[in-house]
């Protein structure tokens, strides 16, 4: 059996599912961000696999997409961690289930 | 590939302006803070006028990734107006309760830039980055009141859920790419040149009577397309706060500084819908039968849950959060109604959606501006705190009542006409049950809006010593203009509707 | 891709990537989860190499492993009084069910859809093509991304820095402590 597009897509699906669970169920804000990063990695893997195997008019527009997603992810982490630090400074915790002044 | 940079001058000016304000505030820390606000507001207003003068009927595109057609220009003007009123309404609030004014106004402008690009993007990568520019600015603005634990918390939750929804949206986009092999929305760019490969053409075999052998067969790509559409709807559903992705909305609205709540409910939603409408009308139209039921269910759920949850709120910001969720439900009916027998019906639905959006935004900013003026004096935002407002400040009482009646869809006010046209479009497209549900939901909503109005007019102020509230002149002027707009749209919507029809025609080149 | 080497590389990288991701899922310690995340990032970078996307693989190592992971580790270290465990919220079981559904649906889609996979050979000189598209057809998104990074930076600094008044209060408390110390000696 040849290693083809489906192999990478299934791998991406597994990674996305695990990331989804981690993002939804972990209580530490940094843990949630880890889950989001896993999901984004799954997206990137899927896109790169499509870029490698699917015929398209603009060559490698998927790779450009991936470069942008990586840049945005880095900014996302910077903003997310800044917010986590601010919450920590006021509350001494970054657990999303203990940060509950507002009804979640 | 032609790079006509003159088409995107407003966007470049906006980016420069935002950076300039941050830099000025940094270099001249002793500068009077009001000057920053007035400077930003004046610049935005000037840009609005210049955009209206120079860009109407340009109908061109930048390298086929940003369309500068009347649809984009309408939303550019609309978003600049939202930014103008938000900055004006922020002025006193920011001076009293926030720090880092340069960054505050700068981020509002960055967010507006993201909104303008979202309306113009006709390519998935650009649309995604513009969406993230808006989202990031909003995450930070929601948490801008650093010393307030509510604000921090709201911002952290909003950010985590926003990042999560972006990942869902992206996974959806990657599936769409897998099916179509392109990121361009539609077949024809405004020059009339056929775009090489695009989503709409690639999806052409969906719903086509005679399949085109050059395109992927509908049956083969259906699973990938459907999961892609589900994920895209989920991701955008988070951004517009549709049920069941709405949980962040009340928290973010309550925790955010009040002017930012107004900006979030007006600008954030309007921009997400501008993107939603262009994406679904230009790119996903050929496969409309695949997504219409999904969006219809989300719309129905959003109308029901938004209105029912609003019934039990005691905080004004949370009430308006759920009321805005309900409004999203009505707006989604417009997206559903895109799926019609004729292109003309789809066009009507798109126009009705944009008209309702404009009416909703004008009304919501008016209500929030009045609440900000009230909050600046009292520091309170519970519904019970509005008790006896009619005696303390009749003008604010009148504005809030007019706004709430309009949101409920009472005749005379903007909400009635826009909702009427929207539900009529839905009925024309064959979604009578959704229209009926919307009308019923509107009657329910009247109850909770009336509860607020009852507090304002029927009760004496709780504190008998409470004196009249002073509202500064610029704020009074802004509120008066917005209230007048609500009446104007309600009484004479024709010119606005014609303009909107003219601009949404760009999304349906065949009509 | 049917050589023995390809098979070996794919399956080992797949096991590393998904295994490390599962490690994050079950790990009780945030630092351990972090290490697992880095391992998963490296595995994905290897998969990019296998897909002939060398440039993306390098970016993945530089940005994800080099920057994002370090940033997250810093955040863990800068929040010393926060809990270090990586436990679940009440969303645990709904989350597990949702994960199962999503994986089932996406795997089904990946296998059932006809993706029209036709390209046998990878695109050559991918880094050059990416660079050229960034200054040609994707020049505007590129510029928007620059604005986005500026906005994120400005915002993150505005949030994370302590304001003047905080610093004044902090310095005041320091000088007060200093006064107490010097008060004893004089």
Structure confidence at residue C185 as a pLDDT band (50, 70, 90): very low
Interface check for C139 against chain B (CB to CB < 8 A): the answer is: yes
DSSP code per residue over C57-105: HHHIIIIIIIIIHHHHHHHHHH-TTS--B--B-TTHHHHHHHHHHHHHH
> Average of pLDDT values for C43-49?
96
| CB-CB contact of A91 with B149 (8 Å) | yes
pLDDT digits (tens, 9 = 90+) for C123-179: 777 889 899 889 888 999 999 999 999 999 999 999 888 765 555 555 555 555 554
A40 closest CB neighbour out of B125, B160, B167: B167
Judge whether C97 lies within some domain. Answer: no
Judge whether C96 lies within some domain. Answer: no
Nearest-Cα distance to chain C for B223, in Å, is: 5
Judge whether C17 lies within some domain. Answer: yes
- Look at residue B424 in the predicted model and tell me its pLDDT: 95
Nearest-Cα distance to chain C for A37, in Å, is: 9
What whole-number distance in Å separates Cα of residue C143 and Cα of residue C139? 6
Interface touch A44/C68, C-beta < 8 Å: no
Give me the interface pTM, i.e. the ipTM. Answer: 0.95
Interface touch C155/B130, C-beta < 8 Å: no
Q: Give the A:C interface size as CB pairs under 8 Å.
A: 253
> Average of pLDDT values for C98-113?
94
The distance in angstroms from the start CA to the end CA of chain C is: 82
pLDDT digits (tens, 9 = 90+) for B35-92: 899 999 999 999 999 999 999 888 888 888 899 999 999 999 999 999 999 999 999 9
What whole-number distance in Å separates Cα of residue A85 and Cα of residue C161? 10
Going by C-beta distance under 8 Å and a sequence separation of 6 or more, which residues neighbour residue C14? A7, A11, C43, C47
**Does the pLDDT of residue B371 top 60, yes or no?**
yes
Interface check for C127 against chain A (CB to CB < 8 A): the answer is: no
Chain B residues touching residue C144 (CB < 8 angstroms): 117, 126, 129-130, 133
> Average of pLDDT values for A71-93?
90
Residues spanned by the domain of C43? 4-87+124-185
Interface touch C114/B221, C-beta < 8 Å: yes
Judge whether C146 lies within some domain. Answer: yes
Tokens of B258: 């009040």
Interface check for A48 against chain B (CB to CB < 8 A): the answer is: no
Cβ-in-10-Å burial (0-12, 13-18, 19+) of C186 comes to exposed
Element (H, E) at B62: strand B60-62
**Does the pLDDT of residue A61 top 50, yes or no?**
yes
Report CA dihedral (B195, B197, B199, B203) to the nearest 10 degrees: 120
**Can you tell me which residue has the tokens 């609205």?**
B253
> Average of pLDDT values for B375-381?
89
pLDDT digits (tens, 9 = 90+) for B229-252: 999 999 999 999 998 889 899 999
Which stretches within chain C are classed as H helix? 4-26, 30-50, 54-59, 69-78, 92-112, 126-135, 139-160, 164-185
B133 closest CB neighbour out of C106, C137, C147: C147
In a 13 Å sphere around the CA of B65, the CA atoms on its Cβ side amount to 29
Number of domains, chain C: 1
Interface touch B126/C106, C-beta < 8 Å: no
> Average of pLDDT values for B112-132?
95
Judged by average pLDDT, the poorest of B112-116, B204-208, B495-499, C62-66 is B204-208
Cis peptide before B448 (omega within 30 of 0): no
Element (H, E) at B66: strand B66-68
Please give the backbone phi and psi of residue B151, each rounded to the nearest 5 degrees, phi first: -65, -45
Judge whether C109 lies within some domain. Answer: no
Beta bridge partners of B60: B68
Angle between helices A29-53 and C30-50 (to 10 degrees): 10
Q: What percent of chain B is predicted at pLDDT more than 70?
A: 97
Chain A residues touching residue B321 (CB < 8 angstroms): none
Three-state SS sequence of chain A:
CCCCHHHHHHHHHHHHHHHHHHHHHECEHHHHHHHHHHHHHHHHHHHHHHHHHECCCCCCHHHHHHHHHHHHHHHHHHHHHHHHHHHHHHHCCCECCCCCCCCC
Measured in whole angstroms, how far is the alpha carbon of residue C99 from the centre of its chain? 20
Residues 250-289 (B) with a CB less than 8 A from some CB of A:
250-251, 254-255
Interface touch A86/C160, C-beta < 8 Å: yes
- Look at residue B188 in the predicted model and tell me its pLDDT: 64
What whole-number distance in Å separates Cα of residue A32 and Cα of residue A37? 9
What whole-number distance in Å separates Cα of residue C26 and Cα of residue A22? 9
A14 closest CB neighbour out of C18, C33, C156: C18
What whole-number distance in Å separates Cα of residue B110 and Cα of residue B116? 10
Judge whether C66 lies within some domain. Answer: yes
Judge whether C119 lies within some domain. Answer: no
Chain C interface mutation, best of B178, B202, B245, highest count of C Cβ atoms under 10 Å: B178
CATH number for the domain spanning C37: value is 1.20.120.1200
Nearest-Cα distance to chain A for B54, in Å, is: 32
Going A60 to A62 to A68 to A71, the CA torsion angle's sign is: negative
Smallest CA-to-CA distance from B100 within B150, B147, B162 is with B147
What whole-number distance in Å separates Cα of residue B105 and Cα of residue B91? 10
Strands B66-68 and B60-62: antiparallel
Tokens of B357: 């959006």
**Does the pLDDT of residue B23 top 90, yes or no?**
yes
Judge whether C108 lies within some domain. Answer: no
pLDDT digits (tens, 9 = 90+) for B125-150: 999 999 999 999 999 999 999 888 88
Structure confidence at residue A102 as a pLDDT band (50, 70, 90): low
Interface touch C144/B140, C-beta < 8 Å: no
What average pLDDT does the structure give for chain B? 91
| CB-CB contact of B274 with B119 (8 Å) | yes
SS3 call for B304: helix
**Does the pLDDT of residue A104 top 60, yes or no?**
no
Nearest-Cα distance to chain A for C182, in Å, is: 30
Measured in whole angstroms, how far is the alpha carbon of residue B192 from the centre of its chain? 30
Residues 17-76 (C) with a CB less than 8 A from some CB of A:
17-18, 21-22, 24-25, 30, 33-34, 37, 40-41, 44, 47-48, 50-53, 55-56, 59-60, 63-64, 67-68, 71-72, 74-76
Which stretches within B313-393 are classed as H helix? 316-336, 343-378, 389-392
Tokens of C5: 């080497």
Structure confidence at residue C186 as a pLDDT band (50, 70, 90): very low
Interface touch A82/C155, C-beta < 8 Å: yes
Chain C interface mutation, best of A34, A66, A79, highest count of C Cβ atoms under 10 Å: A34
- Look at residue C86 in the predicted model and tell me its pLDDT: 80
pLDDT digits (tens, 9 = 90+) for B195-211: 578 888 888 888 787 88
Interface check for A60 against chain B (CB to CB < 8 A): the answer is: no
Nearest-Cα distance to chain B for C153, in Å, is: 10
pLDDT digits (tens, 9 = 90+) for B140-182: 999 999 888 889 889 999 999 999 999 999 999 999 999 988 8
Q: Which chains touch B (3 or more CB pairs under 8 A)?
A: A, C
Residues 8-67 (A) with a CB less than 8 A from some CB of C:
8-22, 24-28, 30-31, 33-35, 37-38, 41, 44-45, 48-55, 58-61, 63-64, 66-67
Interface touch B167/A56, C-beta < 8 Å: no
pLDDT digits (tens, 9 = 90+) for B250-260: 999 999 999 99
């Amino acid at each position: 059996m040849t290693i083809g597009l489906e192999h990478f897509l299934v791998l991406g699906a597994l990674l996305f599912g695990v990331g989804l669970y981690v993002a939804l169920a972990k209580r530490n804000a940094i843990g949630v961000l880890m889950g989001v990063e896993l999901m984004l990695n799954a997206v990137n893997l899927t896109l790169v696999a499509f870029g490698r195997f699917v015929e398209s008019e603009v060559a490698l527009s998927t790779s450009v997409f991936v470069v942008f997603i990586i840049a945005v992810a880095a900014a996302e982490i910077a903003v997310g961690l800044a917010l986590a630090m601010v919450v920590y400074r006021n509350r001494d915790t970054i657990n999303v289930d203990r940060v509950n002044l507002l009804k979640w | 590939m032609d790079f006509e940079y003159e088409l995107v001058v407003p966007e470049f000016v906006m980016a420069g302006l935002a950076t300039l304000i941050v830099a000025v505030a940094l270099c001249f820390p002793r500068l009077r803070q009001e000057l920053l606000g007035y400077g930003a507001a004046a610049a935005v207003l000037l840009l609005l006028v210049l955009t209206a003068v120079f860009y109407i009927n340009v109908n061109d595109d930048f390298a086929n990734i940003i369309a500068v057609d009347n649809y984009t220009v309408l939303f550019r003007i609309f978003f600049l107006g939202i930014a103008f009123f938000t900055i004006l309404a922020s002025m006193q609030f920011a001076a009293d309760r926030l720090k880092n004014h340069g960054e505050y106004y700068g981020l509002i402008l960055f967010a507006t830039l993201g909104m303008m690009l979202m309306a113009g993007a006709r390519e998935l990568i650009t649309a995604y980055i513009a969406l993230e520019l808006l989202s990031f600015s909003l995450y930070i603005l929601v948490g801008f009141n650093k010393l307030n634990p509510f604000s921090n918390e709201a911002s952290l939750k909003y950010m985590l859920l926003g990042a999560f929804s972006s990942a869902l949206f992206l996974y959806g986009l990657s599936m769409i790419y897998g099916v179509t092999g392109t990121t361009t929305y539609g077949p024809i760019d405004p020059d009339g040149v056929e775009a090489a490969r695009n989503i709409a053409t690639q999806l052409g075999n969906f719903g086509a009577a005679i399949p085109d052998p050059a395109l992927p067969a509908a049956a083969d790509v259906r699973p990938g397309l459907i999961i892609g559409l589900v994920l895209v709807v989920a991701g955008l559903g988070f951004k517009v706060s549709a049920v069941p992705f709405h949980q962040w909305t009340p928290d973010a609205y309550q925790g955010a500084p009040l002017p930012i709540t107004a900006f979030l409910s007006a600008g954030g939603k309007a921009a997400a819908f501008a993107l939603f409408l262009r994406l679904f009308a230009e790119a996903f139209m050929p496969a409309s039968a695949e997504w219409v039921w999904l969006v219809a269910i989300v719309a129905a759920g959003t109308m029901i849950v938004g209105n029912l949850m609003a019934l039990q709120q005691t905080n004004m910001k949370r009430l308006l959060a759920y009321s805005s969720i309900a409004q999203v439900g009505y707006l989604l009916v417009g997206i559903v109604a895109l799926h019609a027998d004729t292109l003309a019906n789809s066009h009507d639905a798109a126009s009705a959606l944009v008209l309702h959006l404009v009416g909703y935004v004008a009304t919501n900013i008016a209500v929030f501006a009045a609440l900000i003026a009230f909050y600046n004096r009292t520091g309170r935002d519970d519904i019970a705190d509005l008790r006896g407002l009619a005696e303390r400040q009749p003008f604010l009482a009148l504005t809030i009542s007019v706004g709430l009646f309009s949101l409920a869809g009472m005749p005379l006010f903007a909400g009635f006409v826009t909702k009427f046209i929207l539900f009529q479009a839905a009925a024309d497209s064959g979604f009578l049950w959704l229209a009926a549900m919307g009308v019923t939901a509107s009657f329910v909503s009247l109850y909770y809006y009336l509860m607020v109005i009852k507090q304002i007019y029927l009760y004496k102020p709780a504190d008998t010593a409470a004196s009249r509230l002073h509202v500064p002149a610029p704020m009074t002027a802004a509120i008066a203009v917005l209230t007048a707009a609500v009446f104007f749209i309600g009484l004479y919507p024709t010119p606005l509707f014609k303009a909107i029809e003219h601009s949404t025609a760009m999304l349906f080149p065949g009509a | 891709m049917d050589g023995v080497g390809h098979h070996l590389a794919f399956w080992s990288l797949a096991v590393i990537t998904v295994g490390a991701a599962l490690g994050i899922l079950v790990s009780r310690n945030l630092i351990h989860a972090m290490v697992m995340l880095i391992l998963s990032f490296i595995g994905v970078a290897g998969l990019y190499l296998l897909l002939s996307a060398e440039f993306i693989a390098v970016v993945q190592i530089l940005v994800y492993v080099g920057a994002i992971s370090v940033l997250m580790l810093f955040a863990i270290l800068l929040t010393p009084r926060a809990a270090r465990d990586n436990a679940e919220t009440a969303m645990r079981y709904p989350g597990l069910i949702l994960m199962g559904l999503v994986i089932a649906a996406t795997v089904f889609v990946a296998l059932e859809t006809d993706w029209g996979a036709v390209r046998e050979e990878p695109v050559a000189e991918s880094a050059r093509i990416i660079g050229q598209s960034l200054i040609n057809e994707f020049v505007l998104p590129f510029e928007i991304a620059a604005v986005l990074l500026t906005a994120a930076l400005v915002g993150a600094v505005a949030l994370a820095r302590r304001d003047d008044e905080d610093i004044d209060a902090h310095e005041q408390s320091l000088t007060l402590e200093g006064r107490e110390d010097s008060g004893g000696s004089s």
